[in-house]
Structure 1
Amino acid sequence: MTHDTLTIRIESPDEFFDDVETDLRQLDRGNGPEAKRTLSLPDEAALSRVLNTKNVELLRTIATESPASVRELSRLVDRDVKNVSTAVNELESLGLLDLEPDGRAKRPTVWYDGIDVELRLHSDETDDGSAGAVS
């Protein structure tokens, strides 16, 4: 069985763009960048919003039950359709799920079977060798 994992990491916009520049330099040298399935978030608050208990329940239910529509998903989790629809649209905008047209409905799907979270507990060291401040 193939395991596809989404990595969610907290990184500043500068760190994100540094990673993009590294990938572009590799492309310029004729090397393809390492395949990454990563969602970058700016801070812990964003991580908390994305992976709150209700959203994780939605993602797990989509992965295990394969609901045919957002309405069916809302029945499976016993929540209001409007609230589930709002959450599903936010998760789709972040790339955490896909909404596939299926007749008049849209079927929520996930392409991964696990999520890894990268969370640094300290910042990189500064030029003088001392630990930098965490903001």
Structure 2
Amino acid sequence: MEELTLTTPALLFSAISLIMLAYTNRFLAYAAVIRNLHSEYLKNNDKSLIHQIKNLKLRINLTRWMQIFGISSLLLCVLTMFLIYIHQQIIAVWVFGIALILLIISLILLIKEIQISAQALKFHISDIENHLKEK
């Protein structure tokens, strides 16, 4: 087994930081849409909005878990660096492995969330197409 150096977990910092920025932007966008839908629902009491709100609730929960796993991965990368610094190489390798697994889980959740988002957009496109056919 090759020795793990401080630069290996440090390489993930920029990648995880960019991923977390993207996750946060998704979260904020969903929050804004939910606030708008909530306001619209209170004004019109439109039952069709309930499906959209449930969909967004699922997506925001997935995004929250994506963030939790991503942050945990970053935290374990920092712990890995500390373990390398105090010459605990074997533990550092295992902790870094767990950090990579957490990052993989975060990215798998992202794939699932993207699929749900795409399905929701297909629903909206279909609704628009049906509306245009009626005219």
TM-score, with structure 2 as normaliser: 0.25
Q: Which has the higher strand share?
A: 1
Q: Which has the higher helix share?
A: 2
TM-score, with structure 1 as normaliser: 0.25
